[in-house]
Amino acid sequence: MKNRAKCKLCLSVIESYHSTYLVLCKCGEISVEAGESMKCWAKNWLNFIRIDDEGNEVIPTIKGVQETIDIVKPTRKEMLEMLDEMISSVERLPDHAKLSSINHYDYCALMMLLAQIFKTSE
């Protein structure tokens, strides 16, 4: 069977043809990866449908996975505590480590946290 799926939300049919291909649906709700390895992910598994080789929709049974994900946004206080912890972590580094470069993932994570703090009201 091919690694193919359909999203119930945006109705995209996606397929991963190769072991290095990660394919997301249009809305980002589901994804498939790794060709015949059949890896797949979903924000909410209720929106994930397998498509077999004949084009038939197959509703998978997902075991050991929470069917819905409740996203709880941190409060402004919690985000400020995260920022304080990030600062403390950097301060605890040895001097030679403090002189090394950070990568863009680190920098982006910091900017996202700061943006959320400024956007969140008390």
Buried b (16+ CB within 10 A) or exposed e, 41-61: ebbebebbbbbeeeeeeeeee
Q: Tell me what pLDDT residue 36 has.
A: 59
Contact 38, 52 (CB under 8 A): no
Tell me the whole-structure pTM to 2 decimals: 0.49
Phi/psi of residue 28, nearest 5 degrees? 80, 10
Q: Tell me what pLDDT residue 10 has.
A: 92
Q: Tell me what pLDDT residue 72 has.
A: 66
Q: Tell me what pLDDT residue 64 has.
A: 65
Q: Tell me what pLDDT residue 68 has.
A: 53
**Domain parsing of the chain, residue ranges:** 3-58, 76-119
User: Given phi > 0 = left and psi -120 to 50 = alpha, else beta, which region is 38?
Assistant: left
Distance CA 18, CA 15 (A): 9
Among 15, 40, 14, CA closest to 27: 14
Task: Quote the tokens at residue 1.
Answer: 């069977």
Number of other CB atoms surrounding residue 36 within 10 Å: 12
Distance CA 65, CA 73 (A): 21
Which residue ranges in the chain fall short of pLDDT 50? none
Task: Quote the tokens at residue 42.
Answer: 């979903």
